[in-house]
Each structure stands twice: as C-alpha cells, then as structure tokens.
Structure 1
Amino acid sequence: MARIAMVVNRPLAHAEDHPVEILLVDSRQLVRAGVQRLLTDTGYLAVCGEASNCDDAIRLARSRRPQIILVNLPGSSVDVLDGARKLHRQFPDIRVLVLTDEADLIIQERLLQAGVAGCIGSSCSVDELFQAIDAVVRGERYISDSLAKKLAERRLPGQGASPFDQLTHRELQILLLVAEGLNTATIARNLCLTQKTVNGYRNRLLEKLKARTEVELMHLAAHHGLVRIPRLG
C-alpha cells in the first residue's frame, strides 16, 4: 500500500525555540485529542491547555497565558458568540480564533464585530487552519475566503440588509435561545435576568422583526440560517 505523506508548510513567523502556545476549547474530548496531535506534530505549535467550554477556558487562560485561544464549539450559536466575546474582553492581548459553521454568516459577522482575531469554517482544511494561526500570530485578522466573499456580497447595491442587523447583542442572544425552544424561565436563568426582562426583550423582538408569534420568530431565524430545523424521517 502506498504511503501518503501530508506536507504542511511551516509558517515563517515562528521560531522552534519559542513555540506558539495554544489553548484548545472544544466540548468533544476526541476532537481535542486529534487537534492537539495535529498541532504538536508541527514542532512550532504547542497546546498549553484544553477546555470543554469558554468558562473553563477563561480560568485556564489566566494561568497559562496562551498566545492563541482556538474555539470550536458545535451546537449552540449562543455559546459560541457569548463565549468568544467573554474571552476577548477578559484577555484582549490573546488572539481568539473561532471555527464556526460556514452557514452562520450573521454569527460570524457578530464575532468579528466583537473583536475576535479570526473566523474560519469548521470544515476547513488543515492548511487553512495553519494559515489562520500564522496570520493571527503576526497580529493580522484572518477571515476565510468564503466568509469574506459572503460579507462583501451583503454590501453590494441591491442586496437587502439582514433583518437581524438592527438587533443588539442581547436581543440576538435571546432570539437564538427562543429559536432553540427555550422557555422564558430557562432563558432568564441562563442569562441571569428576570422573567419580566426576558418578556420585554421578546416583545421588542416581535416588534422589530415584524413577527406576530414566537413560531414566526423561530421560522425567521431558521430561514436566515441562525438555527437548524431537523428534518423528520
């Protein structure tokens, strides 16, 4: 059987005696193990810690002080958006690189607005991952070609604005939770708000998005790719 060798170009920005330290954030232990092996095999990247969520990552980052925090949290868009924002606010000197679903254009745009160093698709190639890491180490911002194209297309004349552009971060946060099917009490508990406050945001969302019911909010969010409605059968 022929042996296939994968050649990865070494980024010029790194020196062997000073490896780039990376903190991995992924809820899946098996994926973390694979990414750690991939990074450490380069010889110029080192994994200084692993976390399954952003709260644990914040605690680890305080003591490990990595150069990069690599975030890959499948599932809830709220966790990705809120977690990355927290990490950037707590550690503005640490570069936060986020892997997201390429379909979540609105989430990716909000992440960039929040100050993350880069966004790439979670299905990116190994080469692109290393390109992104090298770019953010040099102090640059990395945006995948596909995301950059989509963002540019949104700003072309004749392209309609997203109805979610007008929402504040908190409003988008609550919309995502509503779209995931969480009730008022659960949303209030998760966000440390009163149920009255959550209901106020719900009413504001209905008004801003010109929806009559929460079901319409959910369908609007699904139509624009914020959430996925599973197929039956």
Structure 2
Amino acid sequence: MISVFLVDDHELVRTGIRHILDDTKGLKVVGEAHCGEDAVKWCRQHPVDVVLMDMNMPGIGGLEATRKIARFAPAIKIIMLTIYTENPLPAKVMQAGAAGYLSKGAAPQEVICAIRAVHAGSRYIASDIAQRMALSQLAPHTETPLACLSERELQIMMMITQGQKVTEISERLSLSPKTVNSYRYRMFSKLNVSGDVELTHLAIRHGLFNAEPSMSSE
C-alpha cells in the first residue's frame, strides 16, 4: 500500500484528489495540509511514501516546503501538482528535491501513474513539460529571463507576488530582513526591474503567477 499525503490550500482540490486515490487499489491518503508549513510539520511526525504538493500557497509555498522535506526526509517522494508548467519552475522544483512534476490539468490516471513511478524510485515529469525543459536546454536563448534566478530568489519572488512583505518573508524563511532585501535587490538587478510591482508584472507575463483571484478554501 502506497501512503499519500495531500498539500493544497483549496479544500475542494484536496477532496477531489482524495476521492480518486482512495478509489484506487494500492493507494491510501493518510493526511492533508493546506499550507507548506503544516506539510513540513506533518512529514516530520508521520511516515509517508508520497506527497502531492501544490506550488502556490500561503506562507512558504510548495517550493520551500519541498526543499525542507527533501532535506530532512529524502525517502519521501514529492510530486509537484500545479498550474505552473513553464520554465524555470519545473527545473527548480526538481533541483529542490522533488521526484515528479505534473500539471493540475493531468488526467487522474496520469497522477496515479506518477505516484507509482516515484514510489518505485523513478522520476516522473509530464511529457509536455519534459519536452519544454529539453527544448530550453537546446535553445537557451529562448528561455524565460526568470531562468537566471536561484532557487531562493525564485521562492522569494513568488512570495512577493502573493503580496507578502519583507518582514513576513524573513519570518517564514528564517532569514533576516536584510538578507531578504539583498535577494530582492539582486533580483531587481538580474531582471532589470525597479521594484516589486514591476517584478510582479514580469512574473505574470512569464506564467509564474496567476493574476486571477484564487478560490477560498474556507
């Protein structure tokens, strides 16, 4: 039996995935969390085989949660299940320690196949996403400008696009405000933007941030 833990800030999404997995022989959902912080805490306290992780959530988000879990529990296989399919996110997520990357538009059977594949020790990236990643390596000049950002810079950029302030980011990532600002100004220089508003607009243009209002999970 493969145990699965669900992480998504939308209860409706978690409920739908739970129904699919609980109806599948050999899979069992053993817990849920609505944010990255709770996911990290849960995985420290409970054994689990596979985590299905959303990317864009309140707090530290899926990328940072993946990095933390992969660091203290490398045996846990993490699959990012997200609306964000454009580079550089898939590559950064895999570098952070994820074993799989899927679009939320994936068919239920593909999610099940991915869970079984990563549990067996393989990596699983949706074919269309893997193709874009490969093409970006063959033609690096066509890459998004966001590819120049480090994993930490990308994480902070995503938190900024969610409206989080420097003090919030520093607290959630256990960094000093001075360090967070250093990352911000480094991003501004790399991306040739002058502030958080321009940074957010750039993120929207390159598919890193969904400008549409999200559903409430309450």
User: Structure 1 pair 55/78, CA: closer, same or farther in 2 (3 Å)?
Assistant: closer
Structure 1 distance, partners of 2:66, 2:140, is 32
| Separation in structure 1 between the aligned mates of residue 210 and residue 32 of structure 2, nearest angstrom | 28
> Within the alignment, does 1:126 sit opposite 2:108 as a pair?
yes
Q: Contact conserved, 1:54 with 1:87, CA < 8 A, in 2?
A: no
Cα drift, residue 75 of structure 1: 4.7
Letter of the aligned partner of 2:129 in structure 1? L
Unaligned runs of 5+ residues in structure 2 are 214-218
Instruction: Report whether the alignment pairs 1:112 with 2:90.
Output: no
189-198 or 166-175, which deviates more: 189-198
1:143 partnered with 2:142: no
Pair 1:85-2:56 in alignment: no
Match for residue 165 of structure 2? 183
Where 1:70 maps in the other structure, the secondary structure is: strand
Change (3 A) 1:182 1:71: closer
Give the match for residue 4 of structure 1. Answer: none
Q: Say if 1:125 and 1:82 are closer, same or farther in 2 by CA, change over 3 A.
A: same
The aligned counterpart of 2:144 is 162
SS at structure 2 position matched to 1:98: strand
Amino acid at match of 2:67: R
How many angstroms apart in 2 are the aligned matches of 1:181 and 1:83?
Answer: 19
Task: Give, in angstroms, the shift of residue 160 of structure 1.
Answer: 2.5
Asked if the contact 1:117/1:136 (under 8 Å) is kept, the reply is yes
Q: Higher helix proportion, which one?
A: 2
2:39 and 2:65 in contact (8 A); partners too: no
- Cα distance, 1:181 vs structure 2: 3.3
Q: 1:68 aligns with which of 47, 50, 53?
A: 50
Q: Match of 1:176, as an amino acid?
A: M
Query: Per the alignment, in what secondary structure is the counterpart of residue 38 of structure 1?
Result: helix
CA distance in 1, matches of 2:55, 2:144: 24
Query: Deviations 1:48-104 (Å, cap 9, x if unpaired)?
Result: 222222332333334431111122355569601111111211210111111011444
Counterpart of 1:25 in structure 2 is 7
Asked if the contact 2:37/2:60 (under 8 Å) is kept, the reply is: no
TM-score, normalization by structure 1? 0.79
Q: What RMSD over aligned residues (CA atoms) do the two structures have, in Å? A: 2.5
Residues 167, 223 of structure 1: CA spacing in aligned structure 2 closer, same or farther, 3 A cutoff? same
The superposition leaves residues 4-37 of structure 1 with CA deviations (integer Å, 9 ceiling, x where unpaired) of: xxxxxxxxxxxxxxx1111222223333233222
Rg larger in structure: 1
Distance across 2 between alignment mates of 1:176 and 1:145: 25
Tell me if the contact between 1:102 and 1:147 (Cα under 8 Å) persists in the aligned partners: no
Evaluate the alpha carbon distance shift between residue 207 and residue 45 of structure 1 in structure 2; reply closer, same or farther with a 3 A threshold. Answer: same
Corresponding pairs, count: 213
Query: Per-residue displacement from partner, 1:183-229 (whole Å, max 9, x unpaired)?
Result: 33333343343333333222222212222343332222222111133
CA pair 97-211 structure 1, distance change in 2 beyond 3 A: same
- TM-score in terms of structure 2 length: 0.84
- Partner letter of residue 138 of structure 2? L
Which residue of 162, 186, 196 maps to 1:214?
196
Gaps of 5+ in 1: 1-18
Q: Which residue of 1 aligns with 2:216?
A: none
2:166–2:180 Cα contact (<8 Å) kept = yes
Give the conservation status (yes or no) of the 8 Å contact 1:211–1:217. yes
Instruction: Tell me what 2:182 maps to.
Output: 200
Of 131-140 and 70-79, the range deviating more from structure 2: 70-79
